[in-house]
A = this chain, B = another copy of it.
Amino acid sequence: MDDKSLERGSFAAPAPLGSEFSHEVLAVVLRVRRDRLEALLWQRAIPPFQSEWSLPCGPLGASERLGTAVGRHLAAKVDITDIAHLEQLETRSDPGRDPRGRVLATAYLALVASDAEPGIPADTAWHPVTALPPVAFDHASIIGSATARLRAKLSYTNIGFALAPASFTIAQLRDIYATALGHPVSATNLQRILTRRGVIAPTERAAPSTAAGGRPATLYRFAARNLVITNPFAAFRPAAAGIRS
């Protein structure tokens, strides 16, 4: 309660509240490739954590939004037009997370379509999230948060649009979902559920025939290419509308 006066005192000054720390943004860039969920990492050339791997990151500009700062630093590591989806994850504030000093970090989740071929710098590589190399700072834990968020959203949003090519067969989509989710996925269920929800729709075209033969698969596409919640949480709800029961 004694904080109260202290707190109110802070309005008077033009908010030089606390500038003893800096703020950085970082991005967990994920894609599905060859049955692996991969994250984009770059190898540090200088301390701290020399030769360990780090997420794309960088400082927040003086009058910059977090979202644009992430885009700016991402552009140094990957073709920004290949980022199909970008959303804020969380902000880390642990005092010991950076040995150089106090650095707040706001993490973002970025997704790249599986058929994109972004050119990446020489010090940068894709690593499967199930077999990470030594990772600097708290970045391994942040990658864990990012994959958890992706997996949750795969089942109640249309976020798959950011992982899949523009058009795809059900079998391809099944593989993408299975590797992203980390468990088997039934192609029949996937097709039926996503179609009923209006998330995907068949196109006129069929996939080019493969050497292996087989019936040509129809190509599907995502109905929307922005994030939509498709499986609304409506538990316990009775039939009629209204506010009170």
Q: Which residues of A contact B (CB under 8 A)?
A: 1-5, 7-24, 35, 44-48, 58-67, 72-73, 75-76, 88, 90-91, 93-96, 98-104, 106, 121, 151-152, 154-156, 174, 177-178, 181-187, 189-190, 193, 231, 233-238, 240-245
Contacts and interface: CB of A to CB of B under 8 A. Distances in A.
B17 A19 contact: no
A60 B18 contact: yes
A106 to B, nearest CB: 5
A245 B174 contact: yes
Contact of A184 (B76, B121, B237): B237
Contact of A245 (B9, B73, B151, B185): B185
Given A1-B94, A7-B73, 14 more contacts: A2-B96, A4-B121, A8-B45, A11-B100, A17-B23, A17-B103, A18-B59, A19-B22, A65-B94, A152-B233, A184-B240, A184-B242, A189-B235, A231-B235
Contact of A5 (B12, B47, B95): B95
Contacts of A45: 8
Contacts of A46: 8, 11-12
A98 B243 contact: no
Contacts of A62: 18, 20-21, 102
Given A59-B17, A184-B240, A242-B184, A91 B106 contact: yes
A234 B242 CA distance: 30
Contact of A95 (B11, B63, B99, B240): B63
A233 to B, nearest CB: 4
Contact of A185 (B7, B22, B58, B236): B236
A18 B101 contact: no
Contacts of A100: 5, 8-9, 11-15
Nearest to A19: B19
A197 to B, nearest CB: 10
A58 B4 CA distance: 10
Contact of A10 (B1, B23, B59): B59
A151 B232 CA distance: 10
Given A65-B94, A174-B245, A155 B234 contact: yes
A91 to B, nearest CB: 5
Nearest to A91: B91
Contact of A21 (B19, B91, B178, B193): B19
